[in-house]
Structure 1
Amino acid sequence: MKWVTCAVFVGLMSAAHSASAQDKLTVYSYRQAFLVEPILTRFTEDTGISVDVVFAKDGIAERLAREGRLSPADLVLTSDFSRLVELVDKDLTSPVNSSQLDSNIPEQYRDPEGQWYALTMRVRNLYTAKDRLGSQQLTYESLAEPKYKGKICTRSGKHPYNVALVASMIAHHGEAQAKTWLQGVKDNLARKPQGNDRGQIAAVKEGVCDIALGNSYYYGNTLQDPEQKTVAEAVVINFPNQADRGAHVNVSGMVLTRHAPNKANAIKLMEFLSADVAQKAYAEVNMEYPVKANVPPSPLVASWGEFKSDQLPIFKLAEYHQAAVKLLDEVQFDL
């Protein structure tokens, strides 16, 4: 496990305006440095509050539990919803009561008890081969139809993005029907689940499959990578279930830690991250969808067109998380 620590300071601030011992906070982040550092620098410029950031790919929950009351962490930034669930389930969070957060973040994208707040959204899209299928009016349910046998690619079913999708299927259809669907999808796979979301796009271009599951921002990242642009251009991005409930979305988010030593400053940062400046930065840098309603996506993301999202409250995914994992095991999805 590799930990990287970075202090975000404003170099041109005079000594007279430098942060006092109280004007600081510590963030543990699953989100990458390129995304959060510019936003945190802007926060320091605006408030005078310095931010120490510890970046990690995994293990933050374990570290918080080990540190206990002595933890310096005030806030955790997560890259997906499952990390939020883990932190809450392990009693490592503290509820926040903020009218500004409640105003900026729609009810659908925050915990009813204030234990977590979403920051960005991604759509679980379906990519189709441009030269073989073109644009399609697909649903997640249609992935189990026999006509798609041997035509579908996806990463591991146990990846948090796919677990969340299965949880949403349980929420909408019940466990028994979701299991039948999941078995049908497995039967239609062109290969054993593997790789990441970018790899699924590449598999469509290479002719391994005709349809692939993938988060929207991976498509945007691939389009902006000069070495991968032709891969992205070989597929069409489709928003599923537009004629009924809407496309499934998953989220990144933030929590106030249980033993936050700088609680007031942490809440200020949470409010800042939910407001226009930070929401716009998230949208532009990583091609995600802001959760704040009046902040538009980046021009590239907007070019994919408007879509209807599933209105299932995100916290419902947590209720069905364990059931989703159980179904994936029962159908041996990854084997």
Structure 2
Amino acid sequence: MLNAKFARGLLFGAAALGTLAGSAVSASAQGVVNVYTNREPGLYSATLDEFTKATGIKVNAIFSEQGLAERIKAEGENSPADVLITVDIGKLQEALDLGITQPVRSEALVSAIPASARDPEGRWFGLSMRARAIYASKDRVKDNALTYEGLADPKWKGKICTRSFQHQYNLALTSAMIVKHGEAKTEEWLRGVKANLAKKPSGGDRDVAKDILAGVCDIGLGNTYYVGLMTEGTNPEQKKWAEAIHVILPTFQNGGTHINVSGIVMTKNAPNRENALKLMEFMATPKAQHVFADVNYEYPIRAGIEINPLVKSFGDLKADPMSLSDVAKNRAKASALVDKVGFDR
């Protein structure tokens, strides 16, 4: 098992290597692959270094939290981008909607990545998973088997904290609820969860743990990887937040746990298409999967890969088999419902 603290230091140390730093790269350059990403390069630099060692192909990376898909669109045929690595199914769908992707046919990717975590037409592929979990007070909540639907149960009145439901993580969960139950039932669910809030939605997932420690609420929604970042990070206050909670992997009724993905697309005008395909296939190999997921406390997309010990301690993940493409297609409806019920007000 890769030591996550050691790996994270290694990755951020290597992050500057091969970075574009905003400069243009010749589309005709040989032996390179150009990566645009809104994931910090430090989260996967070791994997990219291994790719270079294995293939001799240099990886150039541009990092920006926002606007990369639009940038690729604006650059058009002159874009140096070969692949886009991004977080959240919604951002992958955005790339499709902007028309900046091209389909990829690869037996290696199809065999490694479950059908539910890749586009049916091969336009995007999941690389790692995170579960939308419930953070629960160690002192005040003894339940270990909860459902997403159960968050609307009046027994939780005044006991739930969450970030905005217009945030991509909660929008994806709401979209998944639409896939499972339809719009009418999802609206009813949203109204029930809103009625149970201890406070107006605010902050991020880590703030849910902070509020639980402070006694503001007893449970809340949060991605699994934040617990790892709080537990093994350097912030002593956040360590206390993490110590106050236990992680529950809820399920849908008659279903599994909602997951979201980090994923990769090949750009429509990739100047180094063959190298881009080699990188995409490399990211699905067992070694790359282990490092990529382990460093950020995520779940490998590929089955049979060793999981970070802290993540493993949360229990067995039984991911819901629904297609994430279907989840992405319902995001607009989910956003409209969140506004309709005034969830964030």
TM-score where L is the length of structure 2: 0.90
Deviation, structure 1 residue 61: 1.3
**How many angstroms apart in 2 are the aligned matches of 1:242 and 1:334?**
23
**How many angstroms apart in 2 are the aligned matches of 1:327 and 1:202?**
28
Q: Is the Cα contact below 8 Å between 1:290 and 1:297 reproduced in 2?
A: yes
Q: Is the Cα contact below 8 Å between 2:101 and 2:266 reproduced in 1?
A: yes
Q: 2:329 aligns with which of 312, 319, 323?
A: 319
Paired position in structure 2 for 1:257: 267
User: Is 2:82 aligned against 1:63?
Assistant: no
Q: Is the Cα contact below 8 Å between 2:149 and 2:253 reproduced in 1?
A: no
Paired position in structure 2 for 1:235: 245
**How many angstroms apart in 2 are the aligned matches of 1:280 and 1:178?**
36
Paired position in structure 2 for 1:301: 311
Paired position in structure 2 for 1:192: 200
**How many angstroms apart in 2 are the aligned matches of 1:136 and 1:280?**
28
Deviation, structure 1 residue 322: 1.0
**Secondary structure, counterpart of 1:76 in structure 2:** strand
**Secondary structure, counterpart of 1:161 in structure 2:** helix
Identical-residue share of aligned pairs (%): 47
**How many angstroms apart in 1 are the aligned matches of 2:96 and 2:102?**
9
Paired position in structure 1 for 2:181: 173
**How many angstroms apart in 2 are the aligned matches of 1:328 and 1:239?**
23
**How many angstroms apart in 1 are the aligned matches of 2:317 and 2:274?**
37
**Secondary structure, counterpart of 2:44 in structure 1:** helix
Alpha carbons of structure 1 residues 242 and 169: separation in structure 2 relative to 1, 3 Å: closer
Deviation, structure 1 residue 314: 1.1
Q: Is the Cα contact below 8 Å between 1:68 and 1:259 reproduced in 2?
A: yes
Deviation, structure 1 residue 246: 1.2
Deviation, structure 1 residue 242: 7.4
Q: CA deviation digits over 1:265-310, x for unaligned, max 9?
A: 0000000001111100022210100010011211221122213211
Q: 1:271 aligns with which of 267, 281, 305?
A: 281
Q: CA deviation digits over 1:29-48, x for unaligned, max 9?
A: 11112112111111111100
**How many angstroms apart in 1 are the aligned matches of 2:208 and 2:319?**
22
**How many angstroms apart in 1 are the aligned matches of 2:290 and 2:57?**
21
What are the within-5 Å matches in structure 2 for residues 180-219 of structure 1?
180-219=188-227
Supply the AA of the counterpart residue of 2:107. S
Paired position in structure 1 for 2:138: 130
Q: 1:280 aligns with which of 277, 290, 299?
A: 290
Supply the AA of the counterpart residue of 1:143. L
Q: Is the Cα contact below 8 Å between 1:125 and 1:238 reproduced in 2?
A: yes
Give the unaligned 5+ runs of structure 2. Answer: 1-14, 20-27
Q: Is the Cα contact below 8 Å between 2:178 and 2:186 reproduced in 1?
A: yes
Supply the AA of the counterpart residue of 1:240. P
TM-score where L is the length of structure 1: 0.93
**How many angstroms apart in 2 are the aligned matches of 1:259 and 1:88?**
14
**Secondary structure, counterpart of 1:42 in structure 2:** helix
**Secondary structure, counterpart of 1:307 in structure 2:** coil
Give the unaligned 5+ runs of structure 1. Answer: 10-19
Q: Is the Cα contact below 8 Å between 1:152 and 1:188 reproduced in 2?
A: yes
Deviation, structure 1 residue 121: 0.5
Aligned length: 321
Paired position in structure 2 for 1:160: 168
Q: 2:62 aligns with which of 54, 67, 81?
A: 54
